[in-house]
């Protein structure tokens, strides 16, 4: 995809559900956390953000997701968003089925059952989240994210604090769900292997305040997007 990394180019692409991030600065109480950070994600693309813990990865995600609105810059995102948080963040007082249907009012009973089936929770529709294991709760969170047919999917370290086997199963499930739905995906992780496996493009966050330091495209030669973060800064 030969796309010129300018604001004008990104804007034009927005018509097709593009995500365009152009943050100038973000500070917490006078302490700068993020410097200029700019990138775009096209539909079907999986962008991974790597960086040491505490660098501001989650802060960046919360800005992209629209949770944190106190920053300088502009973020344009499609309407249908989904996010998988570090914790499952379910409604513990509602059943697994209702956890999907309350968040996605358009979902029919059978759609919800199918979505649960897809993540291996077909027999848990009536269970409360507290009756599920952590791995099952994570899969429910994943089902919730994909049930809304998101145009932009945000994953915030979705595989942390899982044992190796469960994490691998979750990773494989996420991989196939992304391949089916092909949303624009933004993944934050500190694991190189996770990033290499899921991402079509890897961005690295470093420095203080943090900026995008580099850009590699695993698996598919070079693109002309290398250094985009600097180009727009």
Partner 1 sequence: MSNDARGTTALSLAALVGLWVIAALLTADAQILPAPWDLVAPFVQELRSGALLHHLGATLGRVAAAFVLAMGIGVALGLLMGRSARADRWLDPWLVVFLNLPALVVIVLCYLWIGLTEVAAILAVSLNKIPNVATLLREGARALSPDLDAMARVYAMPARTRLRHVILPQLAPYVAGAARSGVALIWKIVLVVEFLGRSNGIGFQIHMYFQLFDVAMVLVYALSFIAVMLAVEWRVLQPWEARVRRWRTA
**Residues contributing to the site for partner 1 (CB under 8 A):** 62, 65-67, 79, 81-83, 85, 87, 89, 91-94, 98, 102-105, 127-128, 130-131, 144, 148, 154
Peptide bond into 209 cis (omega under 30): yes
Question: Looking at beta carbons only, is 130 or 219 nearer to partner 1?
Answer: 130
Q: Residue 188 Cβ, how far from partner 1 at the closest point, in Å?
A: 14
Question: To the nearest whole angstrom, how small is the minimum distance from the Cβ of residue 90 to partner 1?
Answer: 8
Q: In what order do the strands lie in the sheet with 201-206?
A: 81-84, 152-156, 184-188, 46-50, 201-206, 211-216
Pairwise CA distance, residues 45 & 178, whole Å: 10
* C-beta separation of 132 from 166 below 8 A: no
Three-state DSSP class for residue 46? strand
- Residue 8 vs 29, nearer CB to partner 1: 29
Minimum CB separation of residue 68 from partner 1 in Å reads: 9
Cα dihedral 122→43→168→63 (10° resolution)? -100
Whose Cβ is closer to partner 1: residue 5's or residue 23's?
Answer: 23
Q: Which one, 9 or 92, has the nearer CB to partner 1?
A: 92
Nearer to partner 1, 97 or 204 (CB): 97
Nearest to partner 1 of 78, 135 (CB atom) = 78
Beta strands, E only, 29-105: 31-34, 37-41, 46-50, 72-76, 81-84
Residue 154: which of 23, 63, 54, 92 has the closest Cα?
A: 63
Minimum distance of partner 1 from residue 17's CB (angstroms): 15
Q: From the CB of 151, what's the least distance to partner 1, in Å?
A: 12
Q: At its nearest, how many Å lie between partner 1 and the CB of residue 227?
A: 30
């Amino acid at each position: 995809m030969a796309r010129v990394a300018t604001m004008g180019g990104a804007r034009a692409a927005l018509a097709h559900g593009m995500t365009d991030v152009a943050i100038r600065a973000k500070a917490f109480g006078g302490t700068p956390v993020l410097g200029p950070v700019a990138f775009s994600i096209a539909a079907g693309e999986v962008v991974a953000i790597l960086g040491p813990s505490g660098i501001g990865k989650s802060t960046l995600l919360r800005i992209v997701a629209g949770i944190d609105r106190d920053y300088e810059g502009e973020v344009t995102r499609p309407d249908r968003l989904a996010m998988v948080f570090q914790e499952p963040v379910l409604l513990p007082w509602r059943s697994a089925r209702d956890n999907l249907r309350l968040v996605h009012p358009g979902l029919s009973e059978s759609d919800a059952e199918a979505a649960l089936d897809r993540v291996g929770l077909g027999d848990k529709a009536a269970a409360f989240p507290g009756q599920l294991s952590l791995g099952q709760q994570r899969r429910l969170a994943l089902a919730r994210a994909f049930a809304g047919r998101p145009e932009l999917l945000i994953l915030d370290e979705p595989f942390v604090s899982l044992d190796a086997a469960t994490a691998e199963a979750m990773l494989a499930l996420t991989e196939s769900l992304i391949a089916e739905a092909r949303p624009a995906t933004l993944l934050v992780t500190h694991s190189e292997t996770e990033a290499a496996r899921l991402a079509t493009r890897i961005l690295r966050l470093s420095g203080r305040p943090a900026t995008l330091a580099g850009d590699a495209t695993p698996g598919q030669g070079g693109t002309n997007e290398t250094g985009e973060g600097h180009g727009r800064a």
